[in-house]
Structure 1
Amino acid sequence: MPEATQERTIEAAADAAIKLSRPRDLYIDRLRSIMTAFVILHHTAITYGAIGGWFWYELKPSRAISSQVLIQFCTINQAYFMGFFFLLAGYFTPASLERKGYGAFLRDRFTRLGLPLLGFILILGPLTAAIAHAADTGRFWEVFPYLAQHFILIPGPLWFAEALLIFCLAYCGWRAMFGAPLAGAERTPRPVPSAGIWLLSALLTGIGAFAIRQFIHVGVNIASLQLGYFATYIVLFAAGIAAWRYDWIRQLNWNNAKTAIYAGAIALPLMPAGVAVAQITHSKGDFAGGISWHAALYALWEPFVAWGFIAAWLLFMRRFGNQPSAFWSWLNRRAYAVYIIHPPILVGITILLHLWTAPALVKFAVTGTVSCAICWLIADPLVRMPGLRRIL
């Protein structure tokens, strides 16, 4: 039997054995679909008045109530939802590495992460920018030579694939040098960390973010990555790896998560309160970074809110979202494709609805809902194509 065929046979047999020995946590797949929908809604909110980077803006951030509501929506999302993706990615990484080995694991990661990143940079990013430019100027095609001549790369939301690929490479390196040998490290359940560990880890993560933001403010891209947010991302990716190794997610319950949830609830209003104080007092300081109480508040606020929201989502979905469902299976299978393709679709729908006169929050709700539905429908044939099936 050829070596490649034998490798695929062994991998398929291992997959089947794992599925038979341990039922799949359906709610985790559903959480990824929900967070994908939140990514679309997040970018829709930026379109209609929230703060953030995006391809096309219908309304700029302002003191209007609608804008302030959308800003708070995006601020809360940013605190936890991308970190949640990294946590879940970390959770599935050790088993995949041990099952496939270093070579097959890295080939799979470059296929599923590197190729979509490349595809967005070469096709979807320029396409989305051209759609937005055409809406402003009526000129579509001039964007493509401009981007090529100026060597402008647009990874868009696929910065996540870039970062995750780096994290996976780092984990493989760490595992090869310091970790347990492959196929020799089994899951060894340990108690979920205590409330004190949850709070201490949030505090230290906030301090780490504050330190990073002395040099790289939030909103500054280094190789298309906003490193000002990466303290939380790194900690949650590592926590996901540990959660798989010690079976923490399965053991998570109200008693060992309630402190983090309460702390997140207490912290939640502190950021908008801080912004209000800064506006009223006209105090000088940048929430994005530097040495000021503004930057310290934002850096420390994020992980406490993130830990609370993530714990709450895990408990809620395990309780109410873990029953078999053909519809959820359909959504879950297409969620990654939706994440990749949503920018040009969302921008196109936003432009089509531009002349519709309605309150910003109404347009946000309608555009976001329609975009989610259309993205999933367009993703459906993509995941069925032989050439794309393995990637998406």
Structure 2
Amino acid sequence: MLPSEGDLHTVAIGDVTTEAGATIADAAIAVRRWGELRGEPDGENNILLVEHALTGDTRADDWWCEIIGPGKALDTDRWCVVCTNALGSCYGSTGPASEHPDGDAWGSRFPAISIRDMVVAEAAALDALGIGRVHAVLGGSMGGARTLEWTLLYPERVSYALVIAVSARASAWQIGIQSAQITSITQDPAWQGGDYHATGSSPDAGLAAARRLAHLTYRGELEIDERFGTSPQSGENPLGPFRADDQRFAVQSYLEHQGKKLTERFDAACYVALTEALNRHDVGRGRGGLNKALHSINVPTMVVGVDTDILYPYHQQEHLSRNLGNLLAMAKLSSPVGHDAFLVEARQMDRILRNFIALTEQAPSGREIAAARGEYAI
């Protein structure tokens, strides 16, 4: 049974065995939904499963407020929008900050997880809610990686997919910049091997440093330079005879603000767990390589990229579009904002999402295509 509209609901899914063979005991996944379910939970229905990005949560109507709601692109008068919190996060789903079955925090005992592990846990949560199929899965960044894995792990459960601002696998550059973020946290003395949750201190300095690095990859070089250039922070002088931490350029102050904001709402160990999962993202692993895996996808999939994305450059979405077994459409967000454009450029995303919804009502679903091929019955 789906939770009451807008309410946070935690779904117990039992033990989860990770791709690497570890066990997460008594796991749970948090979920919210908006709009009423129409159709059959195990058949044709109106469920849109929305996947959040790295530090996102189940409040999709907040971080995508221009997109989700009555009369909007994801019209909750017509569609049942469901959003889960990823395994490993700190917004209701089991992660390093959650209570272990022994009563303490999981901490360092929480195993390394992959994007596939997140999707397996999410599928188990939908099972527990009685949902066997969804009309579409859609998400950006880490949410886009999860969407891709849905089409490969559970193609019979997904009719359509929308993959935004992500690649088929982590590039060496992405692993490098993300590993630097992890190291910023794990080298903080307050990290304490990942077992800091009951000590009264936490690696906030490391998490803030990680966020400063990450934020530079989330935003475009053009936008950052246009906003700040070489301007000093008001009342400070970064051009004095000696460098000083309290004499900053405006961009330094901005990034420090972004880092502080994250420490107030997110757990450092969860940030490490999710970032490591992004490092392990590779849809070709165990499937004969990237292109073979992508070609095997029958689910009609729309791909969206951002022309100024530093983190997931547009050529990575072009690679997806050239190799997907069933490309529904390709779209480009044109914005100086960079990677975060899919969260910021509301007008462009509205047009893209309305087009995606229209296409899902015209093109045969992956399930119909597979049935026609005799791969499985409808």
Normalised by the shorter chain, which TM-score bucket?
A: under 0.3
Which has the larger share of strand?
2
Q: TM-score, length-normalised on structure 2? A: 0.26
Which has the larger share of helix?
1
Q: TM-score, length-normalised on structure 1? A: 0.25
